[in-house]
């Protein structure tokens, strides 16, 4: 995975500032996400752990490589580590120890609030580097300690770096730097749109528009634009190529230049994305990923209204 143009000093944030930043990042991705909670009497819950977050999605929603159903409660817990002191390997072992019950000592999964809330999913968010081997070991241990929770997820440093790269306001607020604006920085936006043919104005083409704005100070070159989706329980990078479609000539080519302050727009026929579903592929579209020719990735989530519009259309 490509590293961002900035190096983000998560170690220097401290637990409270780290939790605050993660809460803002998650709130921008998951509608209805909240840090903390309020008790039934209107007061702050006495058992509330300030490093917990809660999310109760209103519709089918992606959580990394899982789809969370409406009404399923997701609990997030935040663990900030100063990895520079002990190293990444030791930090990962410390995390494992926190999630293993030993005698009378309860692990994180058996704290009163988590047991009482009975979440369907549990997510650990940490500034530790997470590799695939550790992720598998960690999740297996969590399932062993508390099999009542259906889904377990682990969000580590790579995911946080990608998310903060796509949030310039938060990036400058939490990671001020003497270097000023980033040389390479793209903002990606998705919207529903229509293209009206002069010769057939009553039959407008339904499209998904992916607009890319260069917010950096240097020229950027687009390497690829792909859709990321969940197929089964795996992430897949989905390339939708409008072959033999009138939009092909309108779209920029791979390697197209975007000067600072300028924008490029890619247009994808709605029916092209719908066809994948019609062919029997169980695809849940999650986000659009734009990669420049240096390998920097910029992502934007696909909102529920756009996802539903792709599948159902404006009139259905």
pLDDT in tens, 122-149: 999 999 999 889 999 999 999 999 999 9
* 162 plus 200 within the same structural domain: no
Domain boundary among 137, 166, 195: 166
> pLDDT tens across 271-297, in order?
777 766 655 567 788 899 999 988 888
* 61 plus 161 within the same structural domain: yes
* 161 plus 25 within the same structural domain: yes
The pLDDT assigned to 45 comes to 42
Residue 91 lies in a domain: yes
* 26 plus 94 within the same structural domain: yes
CA atoms within 13 A on the CB side of 254: 8
**Strand pairing report for 66-68 and 61-63:** antiparallel
The pLDDT assigned to 234 comes to 80
* 160 plus 190 within the same structural domain: no
Give the span between the Cα atoms of 285 and 133, in whole angstroms: 26
The pLDDT assigned to 231 comes to 80
CATH at 273: 2.60.40
Rounded average pLDDT over 305-312: 80
The pLDDT assigned to 38 comes to 43
Rounded (5°) CA angle 127-128-132: 125
The pLDDT assigned to 105 comes to 83
Rounded average pLDDT over 155-178: 83
Residue 16 lies in a domain: yes
* 123 plus 263 within the same structural domain: no
Residue 1 lies in a domain: no
Looking up tokens 């000539």 gives 249
* 199 plus 274 within the same structural domain: yes
Please check whether residue 78 is in contact with residue 18, taking contact to mean a CB–CB distance below 8 angstroms: yes
Rounded average pLDDT over 62-77: 90
* 230 plus 190 within the same structural domain: yes
* 124 plus 39 within the same structural domain: yes
> Residue 76 sits in which domain range?
10-166
The proportion of the chain whose per-residue pLDDT surpasses 90, expressed as a percent, equals 32
Please check whether residue 68 is in contact with residue 151, taking contact to mean a CB–CB distance below 8 angstroms: yes
Residue 5 lies in a domain: no
- With b for 16 or more beta-carbon neighbours within 10 A and e for fewer, the 210-229 pattern comes to bbbbbebeeebebbebbbbb
The pLDDT assigned to 202 comes to 65
The pLDDT assigned to 145 comes to 92
* 39 plus 106 within the same structural domain: yes
Rounded average pLDDT over 41-65: 70
* 161 plus 14 within the same structural domain: yes
Instruction: Please tell me the total count of domains within the chain.
Output: 2
Rounded average pLDDT over 12-24: 91
User: 3-state secondary structure string, 89-132?
Assistant: HHHHHHHHHHCCCECCECCHHHCHHHHHHCCCEEEEEECCCCCH
Residue 161 lies in a domain: yes
Mean pLDDT (the chain) is 82
Give Cα 101 to chain centroid, integer Å: 31
The pLDDT assigned to 128 comes to 92
CA distances 29 to 8, 15, 26, 98, Å, are 20, 21, 5, 27
Residue 17 lies in a domain: yes
Residue 3 lies in a domain: no
Rounded average pLDDT over 221-248: 76
* 205 plus 233 within the same structural domain: yes
Please check whether residue 244 is in contact with residue 228, taking contact to mean a CB–CB distance below 8 angstroms: no
Range with the largest mean pLDDT of 67-81, 156-170, 201-215: 67-81
The pLDDT assigned to 150 comes to 92
Please say if the pLDDT value at position 12 is more than 60: yes
The pLDDT assigned to 296 comes to 86
Residue 117 lies in a domain: yes
CA atoms within 13 A on the CB side of 44: 6
> pLDDT tens across 74-103, in order?
999 999 998 877 888 899 999 999 998 888
Please give the DSSP secondary-structure letter assigned to residue 53: E
167 token code pair: 């949030």
């Amino acid at each position: 995975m490509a590293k961002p143009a900035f190096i983000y000093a998560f170690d220097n944030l401290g637990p409270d500032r780290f939790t605050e930043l993660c809460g803002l990042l998650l709130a921008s991705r998951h509608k209805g996400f909240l840090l903390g909670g309020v008790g039934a009497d209107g007061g702050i819950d006495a058992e509330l752990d300030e490093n917990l977050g809660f999310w109760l999605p209103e519709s089918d929603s992606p959580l990394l490589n899982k789809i969370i159903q409406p009404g399923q409660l997701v609990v997030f817990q935040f663990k900030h580590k100063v990895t520079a002191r002990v190293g990444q390997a030791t930090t990962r072992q410390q995390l494992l120890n926190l999630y293993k019950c030993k005698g009378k000592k309860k692990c994180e999964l058996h704290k009163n609030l988590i047991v009482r809330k009975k979440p369907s999913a549990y997510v650990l968010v940490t500034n530790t580097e997470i590799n695939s081997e550790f992720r598998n070991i960690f999740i297996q241990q969590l399932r062993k300690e508390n099999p009542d929770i259906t889904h377990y997820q682990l969000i580590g440093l790579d995911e946080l770096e990608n998310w903060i790269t796509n949030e310039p306001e938060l990036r400058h607020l939490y990671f001020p730097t003497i270097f000023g604006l980033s040389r390479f920085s793209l903002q990606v936006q998705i919207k529903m749109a229509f293209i009206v043919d002069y010769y057939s104005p009553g039959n407008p083409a339904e499209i998904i528009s992916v607009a890319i704005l260069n917010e950096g100070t240097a020229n950027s070159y687009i390497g690829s634009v792909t859709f990321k989706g969940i197929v089964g329980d795996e992430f897949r990078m989905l390339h939708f190529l409008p072959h033999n479609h009138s939009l092909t000539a309108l779209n920029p080519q791979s390697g197209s230049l975007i000067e600072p302050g300028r924008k490029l727009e890619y247009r994808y026929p709605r029916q092209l994305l719908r066809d994948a579903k019609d062919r029997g592929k169980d695809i849940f579209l999650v986000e659009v990923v734009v990669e420049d020719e240096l390998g920097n990735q910029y992502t934007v989530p696909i909102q529920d209204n756009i996802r539903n519009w792709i599948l159902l259309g404006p009139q259905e």
